[in-house]
Every structure is written in structure tokens, then in C-alpha cells.
Amino acid sequence: MSIQTANHSALTPLRFLERSAEVYPTRTAILHGERSYTYGEFAQAAQLLAAALAADVAPGERVAVLTPNTPESIFAHFAAPLAGVTLVALNTRLTRPEISDILRHCEARVLLVDTELVERIEGIRELVPSLTKVIEINDSVSGLPLTGSSSVATDYESYVSAQTPLTTTRPYEVADEDAVITINYTSGTTGTPKGVMYSHRGAYLASLGSVVHNQFTAESNYLWTLPMFHCNGWCTAWAVTAAGGTQVCLRAVDADAIWDAIDDLEVSHICGAPAVCTTIATADRAHALDRPLRITTAGAPPSPTVIGQLEEIGVHVVHVYGLTETYGPFTICEHQAGWPDLPADERAVLLSRQGVGMLQAEQARVVDLDMVDVPADGETMGEIVLRGNNVMVGYFRNKAATEEAFHGGWFHTGDLGVMHPDGYVQVKDRAKDIVISGGENISTVEVEQALLRHPQIVDVAVIGVPDAKWGEHPRAFVITEPGVTLSVEEVVAHAREWIAGYKVPRDIVFADGLPRTSTGKVMKHELRTR
């Protein structure tokens, strides 16, 4: 008996690969340097990896990937659900302790790791009891030889080719559309990463929304600058597959590589943090385009200067807003009919707003502490709350945090904002102690805890400060033991031992004390005005 009935099938992104492999078997699905896969080959690769995973990971258990943007990561986004297991895509900038914490928390069974990152996971099996196998992805584009590391069981090619010839094709379907398809770990305010669970249904709808809003078609060429470990690349691996378009992988964000792809591969779509926009706009090779290119950006509003530079060369810039908890983008700053005629600075102000709920999402609300909508006056601050199919299932094995996030029946973003009279939301400040730098979430609490491990640091507070390139960067106010003088370099070197490089504050302010409330809470708003 089939999982599906005649008039009801469970929503799952797996359908997208099934369809494109049938309709466009010889069309190019994935490009990566000299490597290239048709949709037929893509489906075959996903089936092979699924067969291999199914032998090592029980249904519902987790498989993790630690890799730059490579075809194998795209394969895994389909292979894991095909095998009935849950995918955990790890941030490639995490340190060994951070990675092992996550793998322990999700009890990962198998880890796929790119050659470039194998040294990061040396000895990890001793730290993660559940982990039975580490597979090395040796991407020829990296130019690196297999590591031969004793931590690695085998390499990816051997792992999957052991399944050939495939005797059965797994069906591109799922029994329960509310089942968990992936878990994305995100820095929480407590400093402990939380595992954000996505469902098949949510991923399917977010992908369709992405197709509609990005206008992905079978002619689209999508360039991967956004990491696939961020909200599963905003569900774009699924969305571009739905449209039958081509995904172009990039191991690292690099102006030359991006412009090569734009010029030689007719890239039509890019998603990324404002820093990526800046990289593209300010590259020496930047030039006027003769084809449409759409860049969707989030994490911080794009600066008027960068918007102006991009529009001048013919790029259409779209600003979206979301969180790991919302499958990536939830709102979009829809361009209105009259906007192209406005002066550039006025338009930039409008485009800097986070906007309105996307088609597959619901309206964003801005509410006061009693969950009452604030006036839509563009001035009254409240918390931005969201709900609907574009909101996560919950935090994996963290009922308390899930309940807190969902109190009142809405997901609490922790972002403070205003509602404009035209229904557009604008983020004004962050209620949670998170700094977003270059599109990465940095928990200020986590940074503070790392700094406090230094024997001569007695107190610390970290805030986010505006940064022209990265949107924000973390600034640490450090109080040392009386009579002790530390250098910035000493503090940075200490922090690097404990947290990923992108979290390490270089902006250190040595202070005499911190402003605290009567209950002992640091008044960070006071620090921000210093």
C-alpha cells in the first residue's frame, strides 16, 4: 500500500527532485568547477547516498555534514530525507568543541566532512559516542589530496560506490509531512546552540515561496554564495531543484570567482549577506550587466551606497528578513510600483525595511508585552512575532526553549521593530543578545563566557555595533583584575581557543566597570550609546 492516497500526498521537497529528474533528465542541475551533474545524475547521486546512509543511520536518526558549498551538500539535502534520516548541516566556521557539542546533542551517527575541514574533527569520535562513521568528501575542486586521517572511515566516493549497482529506487515521498527533515543549529541567547527543526511540509512551502518570490524557472542559474548550513541555504537547494534550474557551487565567497560565474555562467540569482553585496559591488571587475541578476539579501539592511552601486550595473536588489527559526526568509520588502521613480536615497530608506510576510508565510506582527499590536505609525516599538507554516517545528530536545519561543501562540523573534503605516515591518533593535555579523549569528553570552575563561578577566559585556562591511561586529567591554593590563592581541588570542574566529571580538574596550541595573543586569543599551 502506498503512503499516498488518491487525493492527498504528504508535502515534501523530495517531490522536486523526482519531478526535475523526470522532466529535465539531461539538463544541468549542478555546476562546480569542472564538475557537472545533470538532473538524472543528481537524482542517481542522491539515491546512492541515501542507500549508503540507510545502512548506517536508523530512520529518524541524524546525519551531519561539514563542508563548504559543494554538490555533496546538495545531494545530502535530498539523500537524508530519501533515507528517512534527519540532516544536520554544520557551520564550517565552528571549532572542534562547538562541533562536538552539536554532534553529541543530536547524537549524529554519520558525519560527512570535506577534506579541507578534516583536521577540525580529528579525534571527534572520542567526543561523540553516537558517531559510528566519518566520511571524507574529497572535492576535486579543492585540489587537496585525501587526508588519510585515522579519524575517517572511508571517502565519499567509496562510501557511495559500494551501493552500485542500485537495485531499488527509493520513493520520493514521506509518510508524515510534519516529520522533521533537517535540524539547523543556531546560537541562542543562552550561548548554547539550539537545534531548529524543519518539517517536510514547512520546507516544501518555503521552497515554493522561494520559487515564486525569486521567480526561479528552469532557465535560472543560481550562484551559491549563501552557505548551505544557514537555514539549509534558505531552502534554496530545494527551491532551485523545484524550478529545474542550475545551482552553481562556490567553495568560498571570492569576488573573482563570483564575477567569473556571473560573466561565464549567466548567473541570474544570488542570495547572501550584505557583505556579499559589497563584495560584488566593489569588485574591480564589477561592470554593467546585459542580463537580469537578482540579489536577495538579509541579515542587515543593504546600505544605500551598495544598493546604488548594484542598481547602477543592473542588479535587482531584494531585501528579506528571517531567522533560522523561520526556514530563512519570512518577510520580503516588496518593491512598490512607484519606487523606481523615487530619488535613490528615498528608495534606499524604503528598501532598508524588512517588509511584509512572504506568500507562503503569514503576516508579521509587531506587538507590545501584552501581545497587542503596536500602532502602525513607524515609531512605536514592539517585538516582531511570526507564525504559520514558515515557523520551525521547535527546538530539538529543548521543550523549555520551544515553549518560551512560542508563548502566546506566536514565534517571538526577539527583534524589536516598528510597523509602518503601509504594513511594512522594520527592525530597529534586537531584544535578544545576538550580534549578526556577515550574516552569522553570534551569541553575546557565548562570547562573554569565552572571555571570562581568561584568568585575569573579571567582568565582560559584549554588544553589537554597526559595521559598514559586516552589518555589525561584536564589541567587548573588558574589565581586568586590578593592576593587570592586557593587550587586545592577548584577549583575541585567548578567545580564539574557545570560539569560532567569526565570533572573536577584535573591538575591545578596556573599562573600569559595567553599568548594571539594581538586579545586576548589564544595561547594554547604555553601553551602546557610549
Chain centroid offset of residue 433 CA:
18
Closest separation in Å from C-beta 211 to its own copies: 6
Closest separation in Å from C-beta 361 to its own copies: 9
What angle is formed at CA 319 by the lines to CA 87 and CA 210, rounded to 5 degrees? 45
Residue 523 CA to residue 530 CA, distance in Å, equals 12
For its own copies, give the closer residue by CB, 142 or 389.
389
**481 sits in which H/E element:** none
For its own copies, give the closer residue by CB, 133 or 269.
269
Closest separation in Å from C-beta 388 to its own copies: 4
Sheet of 328-332: strand order equals 35-38, 28-32, 246-248, 221-223, 269-272, 293-297, 315-323, 328-332, 356-357
Closest separation in Å from C-beta 178 to its own copies: 8
Between the CA atoms of 232, 348, 507 and 444, what dihedral angle is there, to the nearest 10 degrees?
-40
For its own copies, give the closer residue by CB, 347 or 387.
387
Grid cell 551606497 is found at 305
Grid cell 560527512 is found at 112
For its own copies, give the closer residue by CB, 340 or 520.
340
What angle is formed at CA 83 by the lines to CA 38 and CA 208, rounded to 5 degrees? 60
Closest separation in Å from C-beta 60 to its own copies: 19
Closest separation in Å from C-beta 397 to its own copies: 17
For its own copies, give the closer residue by CB, 308 or 388.
388
Which residues in this chain contact its own copies in the complex, by CB under 8 A? 1-2, 4-9, 11, 15-16, 18-19, 22-24, 27, 178, 202, 208, 211-212, 215, 217-218, 242-243, 334, 336-337, 356-357, 359-360, 362-363, 387-389, 391-394, 405-406, 409-411, 423
For its own copies, give the closer residue by CB, 24 or 477.
24
In one-letter notation, the amino acid at residue 502 is Y
**Taking the alpha carbons of 220, 230, 200, 173 in that order, is the dihedral positive or negative?**
positive
Closest separation in Å from C-beta 104 to its own copies: 26
For its own copies, give the closer residue by CB, 40 or 304.
40
Closest separation in Å from C-beta 10 to its own copies: 9
Closest separation in Å from C-beta 423 to its own copies: 5
DSSP states of 386-425: E-STTS-SEETT-HHHHHHHTGGGSEEEEEEEEE-TTS-E
For its own copies, give the closer residue by CB, 237 or 405.
405
Residue 277, CA distances (Å) to 258, 264, 339, 514 in order = 11, 19, 21, 36
Sheet of 457-467: strand order equals 457-467, 471-480, 507-510
Task: Identify how many contiguous H helices and E strands the chain contains and give both numbers.
Answer: 17, 26
For its own copies, give the closer residue by CB, 260 or 362.
362
In the three-class reduction of DSSP (H, G, I as helix; E, B as strand; rest coil), residue 471 is classed as strand
Residue 209 CA to residue 389 CA, distance in Å, equals 11
For its own copies, give the closer residue by CB, 126 or 176.
176
Closest separation in Å from C-beta 208 to its own copies: 5
CA atoms within 13 A on the CB side of 27: 20
